[in-house]
Structure 1
Amino acid sequence: MPNISPPILIKTTPNPMSYFFGAAGVLFFGCIALYIFSSLQPVSNQSTTNTDHIVFYSILGIFIFFSVWSLIIILKLKIVILTHQELIIQHPLLFLKKIIPLHKISNIEEKEFNINPKIKRKTYEIHKGNQCIINLNNKQQIILNSFEILEYEDLMKKLFIANNQSVNNNYEIKNEGYVVLIMISLLIVVLVIFTIFR
């Protein structure tokens, strides 16, 4: 007799905002790193000390690090599938899948999850939402948040019911970072033009 897949209660999609910020980070920090690297030749022709080279490569390394970190954000984006028996977390870009039987979840906790970076004493509101901490019987934790999952609220309500816990009906999830994203995009365009026609 063929195996019948259990009915899916919910299948989430990644929040596009996290894609956009990840891509913007890759391009922004990557462009700055490329610009710094392209200025290596003029620096090398001058009489420079080892300290100058250390400072130069340290700054270059910082921007490369943040560019790679932004790429990892994109690669780690997840799709969550909830059935009556399992919680399945997929990372499609990494070809990874984690299957958690619901009976192995001891409890679920939630707390606020906000992304509000402060730049030059001004706070930019990127995301306001929640983070879920799923505690397993083996003491491991699975963490999900509303910035990476578009249907976070529906997923949590169904997950709480599946785990026989009281449902949180007080959600206020907002993606507010579009203005910041537009500003970063304009900066990227300026950086690309400046690097090409330098």
Structure 2
Amino acid sequence: MTLRQLLTGVRLLAVLTVLLGVAYPAAVWGLGQVAFPDRARGSLLVADGAVRGSTLLGQAVEGDQWFQPRPSAGDYDAQASGGSNAGPSDPDLLAAIAERRAAVAAREGVAPADVPADALTASASGLDAFVSPAYARLQEDRVARERGLDRAEVAELVAAATSGRTLGFLGEPRVNVVELNAALAARS
């Protein structure tokens, strides 16, 4: 009886290993290649014939002529993906938030209370390429002024880079800052 049960267990292990360890991952990979070819290849951002990054990963930008991304706990290094693990009562995190709030308010010319939360805190991965529409709109005047563009033109670019809720009800509307800055670069 024990040998029979052992052989049954080994056969079940072999069948499940093939099904769940080979067939299922291969099916998911194949479906991803067909249904989402851009994302399956890393959603590469190509400009001037060269890969400039991924539209799924936030990137640091220098200068007031660009839309600023969310802060990053790992300095936008994809190999250092992860949050800071600092809690809401951590004095270092609270000091960093206060410093970021003052800096964003000064850069955008608004009251500190008007700075959206995503301008102050990093995402869980530290690599989020998206900001809230409120944070993107807050930056429109500065970017338009620095680039010598009409604010309405910049607002159109923001609208084009804005995505709604996934499947109409999951998550929040968001603006892809990487795509938005690429569109700005293409205008220059």
**TM-score > 0.5 by shorter chain:** no
Q: TM-score, normalised by structure 1?
A: 0.27
- Specify which structure has the higher proportion of strand: 1
- Specify which structure has the higher proportion of helix: 2
Q: TM-score, normalised by structure 2?
A: 0.28
User: More relative contact order in 1 or in 2 (CA 8 Å, sep 6+)?
Assistant: 1
